[in-house]
Structure 1
Amino acid sequence: MQTPVTGASGLATLFAVTLAAVLVGLASAILSLWAVRRRLLDRTVDGAVRRLLSDPYPENLWDLAVGMQRVPPTVLLELELRAHKGALLERPLGSVTRRSQWEDIAFNPAQLVRPPLPPDAPVDTSVVLGPEAGRPLRLETPLLVGAMGYGVGVSRAVALALARGAHQVGTAYNAGSGPILPELLDGRGPLILQFTGGAWTRDPAVLARADMVEIRLGHGARGALGRRFDATRLPPEVRRLLGGGADAPPVLEAPLPESLDPQAFRQLVDRLRRWTDGAPVAVKLAATHDLERELLAVVDAGVDVVVLDGSEGGTHGTPPVLADDFGIPTLHALVRAAALLEATGLRPWLSLVIGGGLRTPGEALKALALGADAVYLGTAVLMAATHGQLSKAIPFEPITQLVWATGRRARRFDPERGARTVANFLQACTLEMAEAARALGKDSLRAVDRSDLVARTPEAARMLGLPPSWRPPGSGTP
């Protein structure tokens, strides 16, 4: 005779047996349903494949794929946006094309012909911009945070994160063409202020606080075009700082009036130097095919630093035609500018800063080897600032809604966390460049030069004048 199930333990056993039976039944039902659904899915897929392989093109779904090959997704999207409103289209972050083939250049590792440095050998990563200026700009790394202006581009929180992150690693933040936040003038780190066609960037008392002043004549993603801001789309604080109103919206004038007359331009450079007590005065140029003539014109004005922005440069917003179809590539502009400075004997006292689409430590170090003293990083640093915070925007909003001043998620951005990730990114890139210098047998980033490079393609060998990797040294021209 079986003993009846009684007491707490008996009830527990009964519950466990019942639960197991229910789970087994549920699993059986799911498997049965899956078997039915799988047969339906198989039939559906089989039918779709048969249609795909038999329908004539005008009725075939693959015609969509053919269309996408003729009109890529970005072009198709912008086509649709133009058709939707008939208004001037502006794209954030600049060009979608990359013409600078940094990957066609390689470093030549030190090995037997010359030895590499030991793993713990110190490497000097510092740089001095405007060495002949009254008070040169000394930085711990040649990586600068590119111009991203408060209000007309990034939010207050993002601007502070970019500046504080740069200052934590001993480099400079360029405050861009927007109004200057008082917090940026606290003297905690190097600050580059732009002098532009906007009245709000011309206050002598503010410019006097700069560690370098950058006269902005051009921009890689906009050429030398000015800008009229829609005041109704700007945050209230930004509208107040920029001035103007509905009848007189704030305008970033272009061309810069002083740049149209050589004497007036020289006087402007001298005036800025006095206001800043000898800080370097730089001029920012969009990379054009008239590059040599324009470089000589700004050098004649007595500037200390030339900043070249290639066509891959980013921005808050610009018509795609300007971003994709104007200017010359960053790499081409760098090679031409460096050659001119060498040929004219200007290299020892005039600093060259390059920007526009640079993303990695390798690209930055190649730019230094080809003649740049420092590089601006823009989009890469902006993305580093959002590390760990992307979930505050995506998947329902793009990253721009988290970082732009007008973004719907701008209030969610944490500036302290952003500053930390910016500093981490810049520090990691600098350490990687130092490690690369050791692999080249160099104890300073400034010592890395063209002799450390080879070309991987015939095009790069011809364009850059580098030895081709498929021929031994000294075997003739590329």
Structure 2
Amino acid sequence: MLSWLAMKMMDPMMDDVLIKMLTEDYPDNPFVMTTIGQKLTPMAIVEAGIRAELGTELMRPIGSPVVLSPWEKILLSGKQLFQFPTQDLNQIDTKTMIGPNATKPLQLDIPIMITGMSYGGSLSLQMKMALAKGASMAGTSSNTGESAVTNEERDNAKYLIGQYHRGGWLNTQEQLERLDAIEVQFGQGAFGGAVESTAKANTIGEHLRMTWHLKEGEDGIISSRFPNVSTPQDVVNLIANLKDQYEVPIGIKIAGSDYIEQEMEVIAQTNADYIVIDGAEGGTAVAPPTLEDHMGLPTLHTLSRTVDWLVENNARNRFSLIAGGGLKTPGHFLKAIALGADAVYIGSIALMAALQSQMTIALPQAPAPQLALYIGKLNDKLDIDKAALHLANFLKSSVAEMKLAVQATGKNAIKELDRNDLVTVDRDLAEFLKIRYAASPRK
């Protein structure tokens, strides 16, 4: 009965709407909103509204929806008769070593690492603890991001990489001595490089203010460059000073850009142990959409060009190479390693995995990131142990599938994959990546 009444009430309304849509000229036709949506896109309309309201730059969490790395056009090639698959799945080695030339190399059980996402600048302390604990359960590392080492994160992390960064909150001997690797952060993919960033004092809680060693009422400021680093030689000297003081691997992180070869020329002059290249599809909590969507170089292109430069300049064996930026599936991880990475960084997909069973706490009243962000209204609702377990399960599941793919290729270790194991259906991609084109028979 209620259904019948509802339909009777809606019928004249629908009639009026349809008559107006099918008879009125466009200026007074409600269907014009469909045209506007198709032309401008819902995202541009929404962001125009937010800009019109705020009058300041926007800060879009998670990263850009623009994905230009064509990972899906690349496939791994299995062997069956002329060569055989690896006989025993248990033989497949998943370990990777970051900075083998360092006094204390970082030995990980798996080649998937949690990327830099900062406490305060991006994530809540609870989520940082969950990421550290989940990574430890899977035998891999977590990363402080542009923040400082907290006791809470350090206690939950088996392996903790810390970012020596342009804010300076981790750049002291007391902080650096607590790390398993030191990553000098010159830029990141979601920003297309390095720009100024400010956390206003009124958004900084007591625990974070003490962690960052700020005075009451003082803003947290990240500069576009390090103080006293204004020439390539200054970069060389900075890395050399860190190498002289610390036995753990020292790395350099940069954003992918079309100047990647010129950036590599500077890095090659240093005695760093590892390089992190962060493609334009990388995520963050605070980058403006213009930087996320319109700057940088896609992760795939950044990785390939970096590896090519290192090989051509006889420098590949000098550095471990970590690739990050929008990588989200075991297939992506495998292809990045086959193209030359020693390991991959993941961020956004790690957060989604960690939040797996807890998103319902927020949805539909609030977006799921409210559980994870430092400024999130629901971050105190996060169950740390549950989030850690789900992250660990995601990592273990990913590695299990990666091992099966490696078995099919006839290899004995994930690190044995190379470009000979790849094929693409795109002729231009084959030429660029120097891999097989699927339409050409093997000789």
TM-score (norm 1): 0.88
Distance 1:225 1:209 in 2: 27
- 8 Å contact from structure 1 (residues 169, 427) kept in 2: yes
User: Which residue number in structure 2 is paired with residue 179 of structure 1?
Assistant: 148
- 8 Å contact from structure 1 (residues 91, 320) kept in 2: yes
Match status 1:332 vs 2:301: yes
Q: Which amino acid aligns with 1:92?
A: P
- 8 Å contact from structure 1 (residues 153, 178) kept in 2: no
- 8 Å contact from structure 1 (residues 232, 246) kept in 2: no
- 8 Å contact from structure 2 (residues 201, 218) kept in 1: no
- 8 Å contact from structure 1 (residues 135, 279) kept in 2: yes
Cα distance change, pair 190–326 in 1 and its aligned pair in 2 (3 A): same
Give the secondary structure class of the aligned counterpart of 1:340: helix
By how many angstroms is 1:467 displaced? 1.8
Distance 1:259 1:344 in 2: 25
- 8 Å contact from structure 1 (residues 162, 173) kept in 2: yes
Q: Which amino acid aligns with 2:165?
A: T
Cα distance change, pair 34–156 in 1 and its aligned pair in 2 (3 A): closer
User: Which residue number in structure 1 is paired with residue 47 of structure 2?
Assistant: 78
By how many angstroms is 1:307 displaced? 0.4
- 8 Å contact from structure 2 (residues 89, 403) kept in 1: no
Task: Provide Cα deviations, 1:410-433, integer angstroms capped at 9, x if missing partner.
Answer: 110011111111111111111111
Cα distance change, pair 359–319 in 1 and its aligned pair in 2 (3 A): same
Cα distance change, pair 163–34 in 1 and its aligned pair in 2 (3 A): closer
Distance 1:462 1:57 in 2: 49
Distance 2:396 2:430 in 1: 32
TM-score (norm 2): 0.95
Cα distance change, pair 438–35 in 1 and its aligned pair in 2 (3 A): same
Distance 1:377 1:120 in 2: 25
By how many angstroms is 1:97 displaced? 0.4
Mean Cα deviation higher: 362-371 or 439-448: 439-448
Task: Provide Cα deviations, 1:192-243, integer angstroms capped at 9, x if missing partner.
Answer: 0010122311111221121110000011111211322211112221123223
Q: Which amino acid aligns with 1:444?
A: A
User: Which residue number in structure 2 is paired with residue 45 of structure 1?
Assistant: 14
User: Which residue number in structure 2 is paired with residue 255 of structure 1?
Assistant: 225
User: Which residue number in structure 2 is paired with residue 467 of structure 1?
Assistant: 436
Give the secondary structure class of the aligned counterpart of 1:282: strand
Distance 1:65 1:261 in 2: 52
What fraction of aligned residue pairs are identical, expressed as a percent?
33
Distance 2:228 2:262 in 1: 18
Cα distance change, pair 110–161 in 1 and its aligned pair in 2 (3 A): same
Match status 1:231 vs 2:232: no
Q: How many residues align?
A: 442
User: Which residue number in structure 2 is paired with residue 357 of structure 1?
Assistant: 326
Match status 1:306 vs 2:287: no
Match status 1:432 vs 2:401: yes
By how many angstroms is 1:354 displaced? 0.6
- 8 Å contact from structure 1 (residues 125, 445) kept in 2: yes
Q: Which amino acid aligns with 2:20?
A: R
Cα distance change, pair 40–234 in 1 and its aligned pair in 2 (3 A): same
Match status 1:142 vs 2:98: no
- 8 Å contact from structure 2 (residues 420, 436) kept in 1: no
Match status 1:164 vs 2:133: yes
Q: Which amino acid aligns with 1:52?
A: M
User: Which residue number in structure 2 is paired with residue 3 of structure 1?
Assistant: none
User: Which residue number in structure 2 is paired with residue 200 of structure 1?
Assistant: 169
- 8 Å contact from structure 1 (residues 208, 275) kept in 2: no
- 8 Å contact from structure 2 (residues 336, 344) kept in 1: yes
Identify which of 334, 343, 348 aligns with 1:374: 343
Q: Which amino acid aligns with 1:96?
A: P
Cα distance change, pair 249–432 in 1 and its aligned pair in 2 (3 A): same
By how many angstroms is 1:247 displaced? 6.3
Give the secondary structure class of the aligned counterpart of 1:372: coil
User: Which residue number in structure 2 is paired with residue 9 of structure 1?
Assistant: none
* Structure 1: runs of 5 or more not aligned: 1-29
User: Which residue number in structure 2 is paired with residue 396 of structure 1?
Assistant: 365
Distance 1:300 1:130 in 2: 16
Give the secondary structure class of the aligned counterpart of 1:53: helix
- 8 Å contact from structure 1 (residues 235, 406) kept in 2: no
Cα distance change, pair 71–205 in 1 and its aligned pair in 2 (3 A): same
Task: Provide Cα deviations, 1:11-35, integer angstroms capped at 9, x if missing partner.
Answer: xxxxxxxxxxxxxxxxxxx2xx544
Distance 1:76 1:346 in 2: 47
Give the secondary structure class of the aligned counterpart of 1:407: coil
User: Which residue number in structure 2 is paired with residue 408 of structure 1?
Assistant: 377
User: Which residue number in structure 2 is paired with residue 108 of structure 1?
Assistant: 77
Identify which of 233, 242, 250 aligns with 1:272: 242
Cα distance change, pair 94–68 in 1 and its aligned pair in 2 (3 A): same
* RMSD between aligned residues: 1.8
- 8 Å contact from structure 2 (residues 362, 370) kept in 1: yes
Q: Which amino acid aligns with 1:450?
A: R
Distance 1:120 1:371 in 2: 23
User: Which residue number in structure 2 is paired with residue 213 of structure 1?
Assistant: 182
User: Which residue number in structure 2 is paired with residue 123 of structure 1?
Assistant: 92
- 8 Å contact from structure 1 (residues 196, 216) kept in 2: yes
Distance 1:424 1:371 in 2: 26
Give the secondary structure class of the aligned counterpart of 2:345: strand
Give the secondary structure class of the aligned counterpart of 2:189: coil
Cα distance change, pair 239–471 in 1 and its aligned pair in 2 (3 A): same
By how many angstroms is 1:187 displaced? 8.0
* Structure 2: runs of 5 or more not aligned: none
- 8 Å contact from structure 1 (residues 310, 333) kept in 2: yes
Rg larger in structure: 1
Q: Which amino acid aligns with 2:413?
A: S
